[in-house]
Amino acid sequence: MNYSPHLPEVWRGSLAIFGSQARGEAREDSDIDMLVSFSGRVSLLTLVALERELTELLGRQVDLQTEAALSPYLRDRILQERQIIFAS
């Protein structure tokens, strides 16, 4: 299996979808909202590169968010509706 060069060599964390994709309300032109968490620090450049790579891989615009960057007004709803698709 080929791993993204933009992920830390040993990644411990999770990847989840939220928003219209998680609620089953996505349209053909909807983006994919993803929530990512890492056990360690990851640079902004790594996050941007990962977002671009996921967009290319999935063929749809990906909006990658970290839990720390979530709006306090939306945080509870996002955490409640998220669907974890990968965890290590």
| 10 has pLDDT over 90 | no
Could you read off the pLDDT of 57-71 as tens digits, one per residue?
A: 999 999 999 988 999
Cα–Cα distance measured from residue 19 to residue 31, given in angstroms and rounded to the nearest whole number: 9
Percentage of residues in the chain having pLDDT higher than 90 = 58
Mean pLDDT across the stretch 26-39? 91
Q: Which of 31-35, 40-44, 56-60, 68-72 has the lowest mean pLDDT?
A: 40-44
pTM for the model: 0.82
pLDDT mean across residues, the chain: 86
| The domain made up of 13-87 is a member of CATH 3.30.460.10 | yes
Task: Report which secondary-structure segment, H or E, holds 51.
Answer: helix 44-58
CB 17 within 8 A of CB 31: no
